[in-house]
A and B are shown apart, each in its own frame.
Chain A
Amino acid sequence: MKEERGLVFLIQRYSVQDGPGLRTTIFMKGCPLRCQWCQNPESLKPYPELMSHDTKCMLLGKCVETCPVGAITIHQQQSRQIDRSICDLCFKCVDACPTRALSKVGEYMTIKEVMAEIERDELFYHRSGGGVTISGGEPLFQWQFVLRLLEACKQRHLHTALDTSGYARWAVLQKVLENVDLVLYDIKHMDSELHKKSTGKSNRLILSNLRMISPQKKVWLRFPLVPGFNDSRKNLTELGRLGREIGVEKVSILPYHKLAEEKYRQLGIRRKVSNIQPPSKKRLMEIQARIESFGLQVTIGS
């Protein structure tokens, strides 16, 4: 029988923003939401993708020679272009490129392979009170794999955290949570309509799942702060109330930044020009204070 594999797009060792202590974060690929501000566009599609790193490209032309369908061209000895409509994702160009200016994002890995990476830093987890965080994309998009991965972690007595949007059937979530110590739970907007408009889905399922989780699991709310979208006084108040009501351990504000824009280009994704600006430091402090006023512990960035 073929061993089950999960599609992982990154394993980040020495991760410190996704739960307590020094951690390893497993980023699963594939997501049901389409948040307009998504900072990890490479995490969305449930299959491996080709990324092009133009700053590393020295126009050596090895990819052009290698591509079986002729999807790559070098334009006037100045820039490399990939015709994504022809590219059939064979990734032969990735192996051929000596400067690593092309990469494949997304690897199908077995539980054993992922565990081998996790176990490398076990000593550090013990010393720092860290462990493993499963993130995404939306990890529950591949819930059967994630379930088994969490079981494997628990067999090793590792601390586990699940970083989720909460967009999943309760039955699935409930099953997965059996092996989770801490839930990092995204709240993008309290208003269902606005939520739907900018993520593609309503927040009803997300909020009802959260209320079911909170009595049984430790929860850290994560609030991706997108200026102009979810930083209204009303939304912050509702968020604060929710946090107080369900008794979350803390709220993490994850401020919008522009570092992801390059990634969209690398993936060949055209998007509407976004005029969202990262929040100022002053504004951040105000928002932090606002949420804190509900008696909550609030951190910025992690």
Chain B
Amino acid sequence: MVIAEKPKLNEDRITRKMRKGLAYQSKSGRGVGRIEASEGKVERVVEEGRMPYRPEIRLCIERARLITEGYKQAEDAPIILRRATALAHYLDNRTLYILPHQRIVGNSASKPCLLITFPEKWSGWLEKAIDGEYQMLLPDEKDRRELHEIHKYWRDKSVHGMERRLLPKDVLEYWYYDNQGVFMWLHGGHVGTPNYEKIFKTGLKGVVEEAKARLEEISSDPELYLHPADYLKKKRFYEAVIIITEAVINQGKRFSQLCRQEAAEEKDEKRKAELIEMAEICDWVPENPPRTLHEALQSFWFINLVARVLDLQTSGNGERIDQIFYPFYKKDKEEGRLTYEEAEELVEHLVLIFNEEGALIPPSQPKAGPLITRVTTIGGVTRDGADATNEMTYMFMDAKNEMGLNQPALAVRLHPQTPQALYEKILESVLKQPGVYSFFNDSMMIPFLMNLGMPLEDARDYTTDGCMRWIIPGKAMSQRALGGRIALPKCLEYALYQGVDKFSGKQVGPRTSDPLTWASVEDVMQAYEEQLRFFMHKLFTIYNLVDALDGEWLPQPFLSAVVDDCLEHGQDVREYKYYPNTIIQPVGQVTIINALAAMKKLVFEDKKVSMAELIDALKNDWEGREDLRQMFLNEPPKWGNDDDYVDLIGRDFYTRTNKVVKSFKNIWGVSHNEDGTGASTYFDYSGLTGATPDGRKDRDLFNDGTVSPAVGTDVKGPLATMKSVSKIDHAGTFTHLFNQKFTPAEVMRNDGANFIALLRTFVDLGIHHTQFNVIDRETLLAAQKHPEQYGDLVVRVAGLAAYFVDLTKAVQDQIIARTELSFG
């Protein structure tokens, strides 16, 4: 590999200074309260003076204002044209700025450190929050009045919440998490990844030309007039595509103008030249096909900015970033325009702009605060199955390691032919920036996707969009990023009490079999499945209704323009789908697995404890039965130790839970599926679940991750844990978030050869995903004590790369407690 003689970058280069700028720091929510977990109890404590975001963060109401104006201007137009017009109006009138030293431009809000909002998606919760805990985000009375005014327009029009006016009563009751404790409905946002390779060939002008040609074609086809509904739909779609795509092209022109203005006033000759160069680039892209790496990076950011941020912001990203840019780098280098160092510096500018983005998202965890994460993918195999690693794979890792900022996280695809050099780079990287990296296994993902019906070549092109979500980049996919969080252990609890909620005493779930008649784990599983099916029925009723509403009210003409086949079909990406993926996020799996193993051993096999005695103890939160609790905690085998006794229960549990989920179909007639993304919320959704037979007490935390062992129970070391995890049917199920924690010394032992062997075996074993926190316990404790000194410490929580100091204390404690895997 060429990388051996990687040139040393200029230590004084500007990107190293820029990364410390306020504008590039985290814009993740921090939650107004902390979830305190002491003595196993979860409590939500609203902290005095705790801000929902970093102190310098404010709301930007420009987007809300302009989008609302745009909607009003096109009030009589069909919705797809209304959205295109509104978004174009916003793009044409919004404030643009260039930060000092920037070489890739494209701001999201009207000023740095601001967050834009999306009233057409949601307004209700923010309407309340800006007069309450979010007031400090909009301190100016006048701005608050204006936002209230804007929200008035959206009161019945914001799409999120519409479903509550339409759901039947027996489902609506279950919409509220507090009423049932099993699931919380989350709208999430819609993800989808443009086909950059194609756009880089044609430029956006190619898209406009195609849309115009197709519009011309249908308008001149007398046959089509015989099917007017179809004709009108297509006509409006093409018109919308043209409006919005031209607006995106114009965005480049506006930036070009701004660069020229600033160049005219610039005194520094070097900067002046940069600005002039940038003006030329923005004049050329995204309209035309990029000719250089710099143009490609800028074109990418313009398209990404609109498709993923300004239109309907969603976490994730999902392109193969080392693949799409490599041809430009190669050409630049071959033609002597660019060195490796210059290219890496440009990539660092891209990393910076990723971190400049600011968008408000509704908190998916009531008090913990929302985390935004951008994830992009490197490595893996090419569409024809060869190793895809190239110089830019390493360059993106170097740029990320150097910048030390959390966006975008890098999902590294591994496969049996991944070169040793990449493993060595991974070793170096997880020591520098462990929180940035997650690892995905081609050996599992490709068969998994083929099993869903993807052609082999597309399956090989998969990326990670968000924490754990897969996507095929460039394909017409627009999927909901979240869906619902499911606290699976609550279903086990309902099974133990025949559907009665132990806290409220109400019959919430179905009246399943009497536990006193249970004779085996099979009987428990059947009751659990019946409870789960009941709640999933409610959840998917909501899900499908919301999907229909989103399709109706939130078409995405720009995303449609830049993914495959929508233009050809004349259909918005919400209607024409390459694959209609719909996912939910269950948590608490290992809590149930350990509970099932405990019941099997102590109740059904050894008969040390009767079911009546166990249920009595659970009802009373083990009060007065510490002996029994200790027995359930300590005696039965635990998940994560390569012990078939419990591991096979686990395997069966994952498969059967997935079967229940898959028995429900989405509005496109395809089975719903699970996803491991929910795992970061294990602490938040454990609070309504009572004591469980694994020895857990009322409201105590579930395990983190969806396949990681419960804290402190993996006593046989990391290989045994990997073996346990590998027993799950990975290609047949899809909820496998696997956290591991190492100290730096352990990673480096034997010059890192052991760590690399571990990662290679991860590929051999067909495990889906893993990620590492490689940080000394001492460092984490110090960061908890002196957060001000550790602002840039990035850790991984579930699939998210997060700043440690942004996390609630409960999550921080869990990260600290997670068994440090020892090589010794």
Contacts and interface: CB of A to CB of B under 8 A. Distances in A.
Given A98-B627, A98-B635, A123-B764, A16 B758 contact: no
Contact of A120 (B720, B822, B823): B720
A123 B642 CA distance: 14
Contact of B753 (A17, A21, A58): A21
A98 B631 contact: yes
B627 A124 contact: no
A260 B716 CA distance: 20
Contacts of B789: none
A122 to B, nearest CB: 10
A68 to B, nearest CB: 19
Nearest to A299: B750
B541 to A, nearest CB: 44
Nearest to A121: B719
B824 interface: yes
Nearest to A17: B824
Given A60-B630, A128-B753, A123 B761 contact: yes
Contact of A16 (B627, B628, B750, B760): B750
A22 interface: yes
Contact of B627 (A12, A62, A130): A62
Contacts of A121: 719, 723
A104 interface: no
Given A14-B719, A98-B630, A100-B634, A120 B642 contact: yes
A22 B628 CA distance: 38
Interface string A13-47: 11011001110000000000000000000000000
Given A16-B754, A127-B764, A128-B754, A99 B719 contact: no
A22 B824 contact: no
Interface string B311-344: 0000000000000000000000000000000000
B676 interface: no
Contacts of B626: 58, 60
Interface residues of B, number: 27
A98 B628 contact: yes
Contacts of A20: 750
Nearest to B749: A16
A50 B140 CA distance: 71
B719 A22 contact: yes
Given A17-B824, A60-B630, A99-B630, A120 B723 contact: yes
Contacts of B642: 13, 120
Contact of B717 (A13, A60, A98, A130): A13
Given A14-B823, A21-B753, A98-B628, A124 B758 contact: yes
A99 B634 contact: yes
Contacts of A13: 642, 716-717, 719-720
B757 interface: yes
Contacts of B750: 16, 20-21
Nearest to B718: A14
A60 B750 CA distance: 45
A243 to B, nearest CB: 21
Contacts of A99: 630, 634
Given A13-B716, A16-B750, A17-B824, A124 B757 contact: yes
Contacts of A21: 750, 753-754, 757
B634 A22 contact: no
Given A16-B823, A16-B824, A21-B757, A124 B719 contact: yes
22 contacts: A13-B716, A13-B719, A14-B718, A14-B720, A16-B750, A16-B824, A20-B750, A21-B750, A21-B753, A22-B719, A22-B757, A60-B626, A60-B627, A98-B627, A100-B634, A121-B723, A123-B764, A123-B765, A124-B761, A127-B760, A127-B764, A128-B754
Given A22-B754, A98-B630, A98-B634, 16 more contacts: A12-B717, A13-B642, A13-B719, A14-B720, A20-B750, A58-B630, A60-B626, A98-B631, A98-B635, A120-B723, A124-B758, A124-B761, A128-B753, A128-B754, A128-B757, A128-B758
Interface of B: 626-628, 630-631, 634-635, 642, 716-720, 723, 749-750, 753-754, 757-758, 760-761, 764-765, 822-824
Of all A-B residue pairs in the complex, the 7 with the closest CB atoms, nearest first, are A128-B757, A14-B717, A98-B630, A98-B631, A127-B757, A99-B630, A16-B823
